[in-house]
């Protein structure tokens, strides 16, 4: 600081870079510390377990959506997919007496099918992903409302009991969600498919010129997104104990916020499942959880959530605009030749 | 010398309406670099796409090591030891060097990417190329020259015996170019056959042993470069330039100066650039690629910052010094890079032509006057002879020549007193080139001052009334419009030999 303006300016840029790269880690720490100080029962093991329990479905859904976003696309049909599949599942079990395992297999197939339809619309018809999945979002929710007649249908008692299944103090769905995140993380970072997702997110034409089957990769990312949205929906269903029109409503926007807060660029080509997407889920859930403890107006959460999305989006766009300094790597001993 | 390692015999290829290649023969020896030279549209790319498996020839055969081979896909080309370093780099900026190199087939173990194997083989290739970045470096932070190295590294991964370089230096600085040439020399000593596509003659004498010249889809000559001169090759490339293509050259003595540049400097790029441009004049800025021609143009109109120097423009009441950023009010700039610098591709012809002139089209109610917009666009479409189906046609569906005319038309709506044309006909077919040249003449005749940059000597000779010869960022010579082809070539090449 004493050394003059040059040093000061340098510090400012590094501060800006630091905030852009680590900003949401800072937010996470600040929020946790703030709640820990103001809400006495916030900073307890029991609360963190219940927090993770509540966040489990979103961890799974966001992991799937993240794969699509990494290619530079978007899938906003995830909430409707969760709603339709859980509605179908409940009806199958309650009215048709299908056993839970068979039901789960059928639901996964439906989820993958919705994803496949999204993928085909985007890959074959070349419709923008946002519009295509907006369409399926509306249609799929419509089908769900039709078959349930917009009513709430309770799960069979023996299935409902699974909602509180736990190993020791830890709810089983937390373990399932974390396991799925780890698997998707490995797919993203350690398989060819994962790298191709990032390649598409960099530039689809370039990826195509490099011999990547861009259509197949895009298609698969939507199938996985549909599949994981279904699993997330099932976790929610078991927690709630009934299929209701509120399941998955607005979920797509929460999922997109999670993605953005998790540092997964909506421009594609950047981001991670672990820690990225997980961090995004936790930040949103902690804020919601803490506001409850503070006895805040339940609608306040929406304002806070909205503000956070704006900040996250702005940070993302700033990051994308950040000039990248390139340099030529030369041998240290090479004399400079004019 | 023995037998050639690669032979292409009697290769013909016909596209709808065009005979692209007519019984072309091409040969290359192991450990040797062959320059494949020709003007735009001579068939270089078509021939190499046949070799690279991207196109199938109608007739002809390919022999590698004396064996006839069939190359019906890029994969088959790779299997036959052929690698292609494309002009347009395919880089994934957020990914690492290792990932970029291996992207189309990662080494895997049990379904997971074998990161160690990937980084090891990358490190090996990078060492071979003498690169000093590590396999886990992100492409984002690499300079263009280093990215070019990554592109070459990708080609080397399949251990090819033949490498095709397609205009590899077009985006490199002279230092990066020197590095590339070192790499090519190393590859040659390792016995690799190099095919080097270019239309820059200084490079081939530097790096190649042999040349094959194409013109109009046929082999017109070639041989050992030690037995050829620049003039020989130019002659093969362009044939006889008839004197009738030259324009009437006016004397520039009495005409008033509209642009005066004094002592323009940008460190490491251009040095001490001073010249005057007169009303009604076509001034050619001539030099080899990398001599700083484009950089001068960019500096004048404020696209690149300058360190010092003065730019004066006659704004109607004599010369006034202006800041480079303001220069765009008086200077219309047309570049070879129509798609990136000038046009809004999905928008219509009309909208593209009016976009710079919207303020001039406002009606009394400060709304865009549709009728005037249409009138003006129609006027210039007719004047420039732009071939379109309607004014609403999206620009991306037009041919290159017509797109270029739309760029010119946009400037004509603003009617600036000065034009800078940087490679205005690059990539256009012969007919479109002639049209653009005609337009340049008309601009000059109607009183505009035009500064033209072109890499094609034929075009330079047809257009220029006076030439400034550049080398290494400096203006080294001024030649009159009556200069011959040899004098022009000599000035640029002679200057290059001083390096």
Tell me: do B123 and B188 sit in the same domain: yes
**Statement: residue A75 has pLDDT above 90:** yes
Residue of B86, B112, B145 with shortest CB distance to A328:
B145
CB < 8 Å to B180, chain A: none
d(CA A220, nearest CA chain B) in Å: 17
| Residue A328 near chain B (CB below 8 Å) | yes
Beta carbons of B113 and A195 less than 8 Å apart: yes
**Stretches in chain B below the pLDDT threshold 50:** 241-246, 496-499
Which residues in A lie closer than 8 A to residue B94 (C-beta atoms)? 198, 201-202, 269-270
| pLDDT confidence bin for A93, thresholds 50/70/90 | very high
CB of A326 within 8 Å of a chain B CB? The answer is yes
**Is this structure's pTM higher than 0.90?**
no
Predicted local distance difference test score (pLDDT) of residue B41: 65
Residues of chain B contacting residue A212, judged by C-beta atoms under 8 Å apart: 103-104
pLDDT at A338: 35
- Mean residue pLDDT across chain A: 87
Q: Are A238 and A155 in contact (CB under 8 A)?
A: yes
Task: Output the pLDDT for position A301.
Answer: 81
Q: Do A203 and B92 touch (CB under 8 A)?
A: yes
The rounded percent of chain A whose pLDDT value lies above 90 is: 56
Task: Provide mean pLDDT across the span A160-176.
Answer: 89
Residue pairs between chains A and B whose CB atoms are closer than 8 Å: 81
- pLDDT the model gives residue A79: 95
Whether residue A191 and residue B178 make contact (CB cut-off 8 A), yes or no, is no
Put simply, the answer to whether B108 touches A269 (Cβ < 8 Å) is no
Structure tokens at A201: 């997110």
Q: Which of A35-44, A71-80, A186-195 has the lowest mean pLDDT?
A: A35-44
Residue contact B94–A201, C-beta within 8 A:
yes
Looking at the fold, whether B347 and B287 belong to one and the same domain comes out as yes
Decide if A199 and B92 are in contact by the 8 Å CB cutoff: yes
Distance from CA of B108 to the nearest CA of A (A): 8
Q: Are B133 and A191 an interchain contact pair (Cβ–Cβ within 8 Å)?
A: no
Considering the domain boundaries, does residue B1 fall inside one?
no
Residues B223 and B249 in one domain: no
Q: What is the nearest CA distance from A260 to chain B, expressed in angstroms?
A: 17
Question: Which residue range(s) make up the domain with B57?
Answer: 6-238
- A210 in contact with B at a CB cutoff of 8 Å? yes
Indicate yes or no: CB of A195 within 8 angstroms of CB of B106. yes
Domain end (from B198, B218, B238): B238
**Structure confidence by residue, pLDDT tens digits, A112-127:** 999 999 999 999 999 9
Question: Which residues, 6 or more positions from A35, have their beta carbon under 8 angstroms from its beta carbon?
Answer: A42, A43, A286, A289, A290, A293, A294
**Does B175 sit within 8 Å of A206, measured CB to CB?**
no
Residues 282-311 of B with CB under 8 A from A: none
Residue B391 at interface with chain A, using a CB cutoff of 8 Å: no
Higher pLDDT, A15 or B12: B12
Q: Tell me if residue B294 falls in helix, strand or coil.
A: helix
**Do B212 and B299 sit in the same domain of this protein?**
no
What is the arithmetic mean of pLDDT over A308-329?
Answer: 73
The answer, for B110 touching chain A at a CB cutoff of 8 Å, is no
Alpha helices in chain A (DSSP H): 5-38, 45-70, 78-96, 100-123, 129-148, 157-160, 172-190, 192-202, 204-209, 214-240, 251-261, 278-293, 300-321
Alpha carbon distance B497, B104 (integer Å): 42
| One domain, residues B136 and B183 | yes
Structure confidence at residue B493 (pLDDT): 65
Centre a 10 Å sphere on the Cβ of residue A94 and count the other Cβ atoms it contains: 16
pLDDT band of residue A10 (cuts 50, 70, 90) is low
Taking each helix axis as running N to C, give the angle between helix A172-190 and helix A45-70, from 0 to 180 degrees, rounded to the nearest 10. Answer: 30
- Please report the DSSP string for A164-233 in residue order: G-EETTEEHHHHHHHHHHHHHHHHHHHSHHHHHHHHHHH-HHHHHHTT--HHHHHHHHHHHHHHHHHHHH
Distance between CA atoms of residues B342 and B349, nearest Å: 12
The torsion region of residue B448 among left (phi > 0), alpha (psi -120 to 50) and beta comes to beta
**Partner B contacted by A160 (CB < 8 A):** no
The confidence score (pLDDT) of residue A5 equals 42
User: Are the beta carbons of A67 and A221 closer than 8 angstroms?
Assistant: yes
Residues B286 and B221 in one domain: no
Q: Which one of B238, B262, B286 terminates a domain?
A: B238
Q: Are residues B383 and B406 in the same domain?
A: yes
**Residue B138: per-residue pLDDT:** 92
Q: Are residues B265 and B185 in the same domain?
A: no
* Residues contacting A10, CB < 8 A, separation 6+: none
Residues in chain A: 338
Output the domain CATH number for residue B300: 3.40.50.300
The yes-or-no verdict on residue A92 having pLDDT over 60 is yes
Residue B208 resides in a domain: yes
Q: Chain B contacts of A269, Cβ < 8 Å? A: 92-95
Min Cα distance B106 → chain A (Å) is 6
Contact list in A for residue B77 (CB cut-off 8 A) is none
Residues B292 and B206 placed together within one structural domain of the fold: no
Statement to judge: residues B170 and B190 lie in one domain: yes
Q: Is A140 on the interface with B (CB under 8 A)?
A: no
Structure tokens at B462: 């047809």
What confidence category does residue A332 fall into, taking pLDDT thresholds of 50, 70 and 90? Answer: low
B195 vs A27, residue with greater confidence: B195
A316 touches chain B (CB under 8 A): no
Determine whether the interchain pair B178/A337 forms a contact, defined as Cβ–Cβ distance below 8 Å.
yes
**Is the ipTM, as predicted for this complex, more than 0.90?**
no
Residues whose CB falls within 8 Å of the CB of residue B355, separated by 6 or more in sequence, listed in order: B344, B347, B410
Q: Which residues of A touch B103 (CB under 8 A)?
A: 195-196, 199, 207, 210-212
Determine the distance in angstroms separating the CA of A69 from the nearest CA of chain B, rounded to an integer: 15
- Minimum CA–CA partner of B172 in chain A: A328
Q: Which residue of B has its CA nearest to A206?
A: B90
Q: CB-hemisphere CA count at 13 Å for B47?
A: 34
- Domain final position from B209, B238, B267: B238
What is the chain A residue with the closest CA to B86? A209
| Overall domain count for chain B | 2
Q: Do A206 and B92 touch (CB under 8 A)?
A: yes
Shared domain check, B264 and B158: no
Q: Find all residues with CB under 8 Å of B397, minimum gap 6, and list them.
A: none
Q: Which pLDDT value is given to residue B211?
A: 92
Express each pLDDT in B101-114 by its tens digit. 999 889 999 889 99
The span from the CA of B35 to the CA of B44, in Å, is 10
Contact (CB<8Å) B132/A329: yes
* Local structure of residue B251 (DSSP, 8 states): P
Residues B70 and B192 placed together within one structural domain of the fold:
yes
Residue A163 C-alpha, separation from nearest chain B C-alpha, in angstroms: 34
């Amino acid at each position: 600081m004493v050394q003059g303006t040059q040093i000061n300016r340098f510090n400012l840029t590094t501060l800006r870079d630091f905030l852009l790269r680590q900003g949401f880690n800072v937010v996470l720490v600040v929020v946790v510390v703030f709640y820990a100080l103001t809400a006495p029962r916030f900073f307890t093991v029991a609360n963190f377990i219940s927090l993770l329990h509540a966040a489990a479905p979103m961890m799974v859904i966001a992991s799937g959506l993240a794969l699509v976003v990494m290619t530079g696309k978007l899938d906003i049909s995830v909430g409707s997919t969760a709603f339709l599949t859980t509605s179908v599942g409940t009806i199958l079990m309650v009215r048709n007496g299908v056993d839970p395992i068979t039901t789960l297999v059928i639901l996964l197939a439906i989820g993958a099918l919705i994803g496949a339809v999204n993928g085909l619309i985007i890959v074959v018809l070349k419709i923008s992903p946002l519009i295509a999945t907006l369409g399926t979002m509306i249609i799929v929710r419509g089908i769900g409302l039709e078959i349930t007649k917009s009513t709430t249908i309770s799960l069979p008692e023996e299935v409902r009991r699974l909602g509180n299944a736990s190993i020791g103090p830890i709810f089983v769905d937390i373990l399932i969600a974390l396991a799925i995140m780890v698997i998707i993380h490995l797919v993203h970072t350690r398989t060819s498919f994962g790298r191709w997702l990032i390649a598409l997110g960099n530039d689809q034409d370039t990826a195509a010129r490099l011999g990547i089957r861009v259509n197949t990769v895009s298609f698969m990312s939507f199938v996985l997104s549909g599949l994981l949205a279904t699993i997330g929906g099932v976790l929610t269903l078991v927690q709630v104990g009934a299929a209701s029109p509120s399941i998955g409503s607005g979920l797509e926007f929460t999922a997109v916020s999670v993605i953005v807060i998790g540092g997964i660029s909506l421009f594609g080509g950047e981001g991670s499942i672990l820690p990225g997407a997980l961090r995004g889920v936790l930040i949103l859930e902690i804020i919601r959880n803490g506001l409850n403890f503070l006895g805040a107006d339940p609608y306040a959460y929406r304002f806070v959530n909205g503000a956070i999305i704006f900040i996250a989006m702005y940070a993302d766009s700033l990051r994308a605009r950040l000039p990248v300094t390139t340099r030529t790597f030369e041998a240290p001993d090479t004399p400079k030749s004019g | 010398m023995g037998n050639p390692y690669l032979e292409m015999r009697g290769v013909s290829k016909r596209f709808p309406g065009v005979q692209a290649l007519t019984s072309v023969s091409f040969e290359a020896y192991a450990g040797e670099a062959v320059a494949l030279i020709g003007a735009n549209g001579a068939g270089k790319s078509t021939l190499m796409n046949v070799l690279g498996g991207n196109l199938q020839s109608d007739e002809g055969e390919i022999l590698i090591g004396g064996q006839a081979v069939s190359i019906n896909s890029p994969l088959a080309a790779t299997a036959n030891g052929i690698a292609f370093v494309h002009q347009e780099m395919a880089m994934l900026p957020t990914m690492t060097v290792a990932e970029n190199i291996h992207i189309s087939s990662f080494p895997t173990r049990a379904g997971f990417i074998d990161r160690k194997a990937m980084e090891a083989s990358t490190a090996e290739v990078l060492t071979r190329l003498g690169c000093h970045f590590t396999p886990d470096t992100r492409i984002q932070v690499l300079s263009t020259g280093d990215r070019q190295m990554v592109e070459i590294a990708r080609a080397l991964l399949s251990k090819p015996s033949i490498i095709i370089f397609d205009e590899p230096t077009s985006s490199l600085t002279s230092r990066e170019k020197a590095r590339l040439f070192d790499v090519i020399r190393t590859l040659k000593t390792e016995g690799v056959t190099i095919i080097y596509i270019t239309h820059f003659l200084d490079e081939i004498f530097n790096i190649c042993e042999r040349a094959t010249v194409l013109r109009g889809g046929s082999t017109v000559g070639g041989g050992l470069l030690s037995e050829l001169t620049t003039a020989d090759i130019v002659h093969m490339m362009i044939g006889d330039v008839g004197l009738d293509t030259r324009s009437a050259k006016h004397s520039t003595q009495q005409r008033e100066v509209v642009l005066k540049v004094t002592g323009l400097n940008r460190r490491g790029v251009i040095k001490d650039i001073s010249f005057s441009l007169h009303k009604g004049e076509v001034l050619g800025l001539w030099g080899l690629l990398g001599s700083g021609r484009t950089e001068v143009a960019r500096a004048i109109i404020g696209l690149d910052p300058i360190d010092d120097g003065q730019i004066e423009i006659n704004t109607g009441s004599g010369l006034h010094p202006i800041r480079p950023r303001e220069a765009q009010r008086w200077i219309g700039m047309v570049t070879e890079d129509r798609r990136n610098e000038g046009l809004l591709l999905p928008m219509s012809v009309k909208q593209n032509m009016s976009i710079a002139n919207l303020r001039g089209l406002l009606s009394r109610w400060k709304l865009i006057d549709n009728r005037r917009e249409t009138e003006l666009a129609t006027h210039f479409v007719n004047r420039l002879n732009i071939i379109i189906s309607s004014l609403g046609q999206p620009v991306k569906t037009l041919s290159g020549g017509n797109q270029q005319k739309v760029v010119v038309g946009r400037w004509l709506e603003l009617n600036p007193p000065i034009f800078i044309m940087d490679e205005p006909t690059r990539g256009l077919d012969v007919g479109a080139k002639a049209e653009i040249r005609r337009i340049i003449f008309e601009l000059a005749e109607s009183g505009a001052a035009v500064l033209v940059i072109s890499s094609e000597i034929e075009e330079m000779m047809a257009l220029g009334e006076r030439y400034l010869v550049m080398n290494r960022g400096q203006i080294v010579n001024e030649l009159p419009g009556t200069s011959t082809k040899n004098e022009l070539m000599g000035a640029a090449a002679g200057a290059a030999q001083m390096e």
